[in-house]
């Protein structure tokens, strides 16, 4: 942690960055995001196993952008997210400083190549309970699965916390906020909830970096991250493409390669 404080102080003092996005102590045992713009506050940063929220979500928020060039304390999944955002033209590696901490050594990732190398070397590992959830759902019959999601999604009351927590839900005007026409029913009844969550999963297909922030954010505990994780897995299986690995990757869903062996598209 000492090294992290030192690095943050240096970066702010040198003027290289104007704000450090990192983790700090919250109420109780919780961790909360902190936005540090003064060198003397650098010691507010913490780094331990509880630091799991995907801070990349803040990089594209207009109020954070206003603070200036950011440095971000990044877990492996944050690095993945940043790569995905670069590939979607939402970020440039030259405009941010990514700080990764390994065994109390802090390194700066400042270009696409170093981000990609780090991401390749740090695969995201799911906690055991997530692995079990994925396995349980995979083993269900279609009817059971339908019932499972009907039950789970019936608790959703459309607070859109999942959308706010997701670093890849960066649209300035969401599809659901579009009422000419009203594509997605805003009411939180069975149909409206299904429409929203299916749309969310489709919009994240092949883009979800599997950080789990949406599930963590859900106030009623719906494991909605499983939908986007599964969608990404299908894309990987069908098109061999995994998000968050290459800064210049095309979107698997919107690009066509001439050498594609699939004949259905002709």
Binding site for another protein (CB under 8 A): 62, 88-90, 170-175, 178, 180-181, 183, 203, 250-251, 253-256, 258, 266
CA distances (Å), 182 to each of 1, 93, 96, 162, 201, in order? 49, 37, 37, 20, 19
- In the complex with another protein, the residue whose CB is nearer, 18 or 60, is 60
- In the complex with another protein, the residue whose CB is nearer, 51 or 169, is 169
CA torsion, ordered 74, 27, 226, 221, to nearest 10 deg? -170
In the complex, minimum distance from the CB of residue 85 to another protein, in angstroms, rounded to a whole number: 10
For residue 112, the tally of other CB atoms under 10 A from its CB is 18
User: Strand 97-102 to strand 105-109: parallel, antiparallel, or no bridges (unpaired)?
Assistant: antiparallel
In the complex, minimum distance from the CB of residue 36 to another protein, in angstroms, rounded to a whole number: 26
- In the complex with another protein, the residue whose CB is nearer, 129 or 256, is 256
- In the complex with another protein, the residue whose CB is nearer, 117 or 202, is 202
User: How far does the chain reach from its first CA to its final CA, in angstroms?
Assistant: 56
User: Strand 19-25 to strand 31-36: parallel, antiparallel, or no bridges (unpaired)?
Assistant: antiparallel
In the complex, minimum distance from the CB of residue 155 to another protein, in angstroms, rounded to a whole number: 25
- In the complex with another protein, the residue whose CB is nearer, 1 or 175, is 175
In the complex, minimum distance from the CB of residue 209 to another protein, in angstroms, rounded to a whole number: 15
- Signed CA dihedral, 29, 211, 223, 34: sign only: positive
């Amino acid at each position: 942690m000492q090294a992290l404080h030192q690095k943050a102080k240096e970066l702010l003092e040198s003027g290289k960055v104007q704000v450090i996005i990192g983790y700090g102590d919250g109420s109780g045992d919780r961790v909360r995001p902190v936005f540090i713009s003064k060198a003397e506050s650098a010691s507010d940063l913490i780094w331990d196993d509880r630091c799991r929220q995907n801070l990349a979500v803040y990089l594209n928020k207009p109020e954070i952008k206003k603070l200036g060039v950011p440095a971000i304390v990044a877990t492996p999944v944050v690095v993945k997210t940043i790569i995905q955002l670069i590939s979607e033209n939402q970020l440039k590696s030259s405009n941010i400083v990514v700080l990764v901490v390994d065994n109390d050594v802090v390194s700066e990732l400042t270009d696409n190549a170093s981000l990609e190398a780090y991401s390749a070397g740090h695969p995201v590992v799911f906690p055991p309970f997530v692995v079990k959830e994925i396995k349980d759902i995979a083993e269900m019959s279609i009817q059971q699965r339908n019932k499972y999601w009907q039950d789970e999604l019936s608790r959703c009351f459309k607070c859109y916390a999942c959308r706010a927590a997701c670093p890849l839900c960066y649209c300035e005007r969401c599809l659901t906020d579009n009422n000419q026409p009203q594509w997605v029913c805003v009411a939180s009844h069975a149909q409206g909830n299904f429409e929203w969550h299916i749309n969310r999963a489709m919009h994240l297909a092949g883009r979800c970096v599997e950080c789990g922030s949406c599930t963590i954010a859900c106030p009623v505990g719906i494991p909605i991250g499983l939908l986007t994780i599964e969608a990404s897995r299908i894309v990987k299986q069908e098109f061999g493409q995994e998000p968050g690995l290459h800064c210049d990757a095309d979107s698997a869903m919107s690009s066509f390669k001439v050498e594609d062996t699939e004949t259905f598209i002709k």
